Amino acid sequence: MTRTKSKAEAVKSPPHLSSEGDTLASLWTVPGANLSPPTVIDTVRRMSELQMGMSQFAAERTRKNAATLAAIATCRTPLDFLELWRTAAAEAVSDYAEETARILELQRN
C-alpha cells in the first residue's frame, strides 16, 4: 500500500525543480504582473528607501516638536509664546513642504 501526500503535506513541500534546474525568474512569479526579478527587487528597494526617509523625517519632527514644547514652558509672556509658536509653525510648514517635495521627486525617478 503506497501512501499519498495529504493536501497539507503537498503545500509544505518545496517546489519541484526540473532536472535542468529552473532559473530564479521562473520560480519567482508576481501574480497578475509580468515583472522580472530585477524590477521587483528595484521596486522593493525604492519602497524601503521611501519608508526609511519618512521614518527619519517623523523622528526629526518629533524631536523638534518636543523641543518646542520644552521652550514653551520657559515663556514668560504671551508675546514670548506667540513668537515661539510662530517660528515653530513656520519651520514645521517648511519641513513638511521639503519632505513632500522629496517624496514626489523619488516617485518621478
Q: Classify residue 18: in a domain, yes or no.
A: no
Q: Classify residue 3: in a domain, yes or no.
A: no
DSSP line for 45-72: HHHHHHHHHHHHHHHHHHHHHHHHHHHH
Task: For residue 88, give the C-alpha cell.
Answer: 515653530
Query: Dihedrals φ, ψ of 25, to 5°?
Result: -60, -35
Q: Classify residue 87: in a domain, yes or no.
A: yes
Q: Classify residue 25: in a domain, yes or no.
A: no
Q: Classify residue 20: in a domain, yes or no.
A: no
Give me the domain span that covers residue 74.
33-108
Q: Per the structure, how many domains does the chain have? A: 1
Name the percent of the chain lying above pLDDT 90. 49
Question: What pLDDT, in 10s, does the model give residues 15-63?
Answer: 554 544 455 555 555 566 666 777 888 888 888 989 999 999 999 999 9
Q: Go through the chain and tell me how many residues it has.
A: 109
> Whole-model pTM above 0.85?
no
